[in-house]
A = this chain, B = another copy of it.
Amino acid sequence: MDPRLSLNQITTKSWSLPEAVAGCAEAGVGWIGLWRDKVAETGVDEAARLLKEHGVRVSSLCRGGFFTGVTPEGSPVDGVAQTREAIDEAAALGTDVLVLVVGGIAGNDLAASRQRVADAVGELAPYAGERGVRLGLEPLHPMQCAERSVLSTVDQALAIAVEHPAEQVGVIVDEFHVWWDPRIEESIAAAAGRIAGFHVCDVLVPLPDPLLGRALPGDGPIDHRRLRAAVEAAGYSGPIEVEVFNADLWARPGQDVLAETITAFERYVA
């Protein structure tokens, strides 16, 4: 098995954190991407203990962000305060990457919303750096611009990241969000030394839904080897997370989903 495969635990959503960690260990998957809500169910200390016991490392923690002050549901949120907590949590879990979903448009002002994101990153970057955590700015697909992320492209995320030391702020390349971008290969090349994570999945055609339209690699039109080659040419050699939001997969036993994830990864990504 490719030792760089990491299971983003959203892919096996029916599993609790202890089940997902044990499942990875049993299947020989050495990395896992964690979500804060799942960590909270188990508790940070117990999660850290389980990870150590099973010899599974954390590729990233999802997620901080929401710096524009509103949740996807439109409620107010203090994204900076929550992200400080998430930085501490990432450090406690032994991962050096915190994924950021920066937040959607506030007050119908796209330029001002983007400025709030840049300001928040400036405020948090030194805090993250002191704790050995790198902020991973993840551009989300433009269909999520209004609700979740006013950062839509790798270029845009990189423009914010380069204002800070490389060990404090990087960018996450997630295939679902950026595969369509006509500039993606140049953008990834420009992000050399700044790539903090590479997430793979496929896109369902026809796209059924803005959020759940993902599939395992191979079940859609994304050219995974081309994007992996671009990311590696830019110097990224870290874990590769398989991150799939898909209601059908979520309804199935975690063990079966992980087995299929491994097969899909070997066949289309490795």
How far does the Cβ of A57 sit from chain B's closest Cβ, in whole Å?
33
Q: How many residues of A contact B (CB 8 A)?
A: 33
Is A165 on the interface with B (CB-CB < 8 A)? no
Q: Does the CB pair B72–A145 fall under 8 Å?
A: no
* Contacts A108-B223, A142-B180, A146-B206 known; 11 new A-B pairs at CB < 8 A: A108-B222, A110-B179, A110-B180, A114-B182, A141-B142, A141-B143, A146-B180, A152-B181, A152-B182, A206-B210, A210-B210
- Contact residues of A between 65 and 124, Cβ < 8 Å to B: 72, 104-105, 108-110, 114
Q: Does the CB pair A221–B182 fall under 8 Å?
A: no
Is A203 on the interface with B (CB-CB < 8 A)? yes
Scan A201-229; emit 1 where CB is below 8 A from any B CB, else 0.
00101110110010000001111000000
CB closest chain-B residue, reference A207? B210
Number of copies: 2
Is A255 on the interface with B (CB-CB < 8 A)? no
Q: Does the CB pair B205–A180 fall under 8 Å?
A: no
Q: Does the CB pair B210–A147 fall under 8 Å?
A: no
Q: Which of B105, B210, B221 contacts A105 (CB 8 A)?
A: B221
Q: Does the CB pair B141–A153 fall under 8 Å?
A: no
Is A46 on the interface with B (CB-CB < 8 A)? no
Is A156 on the interface with B (CB-CB < 8 A)? yes
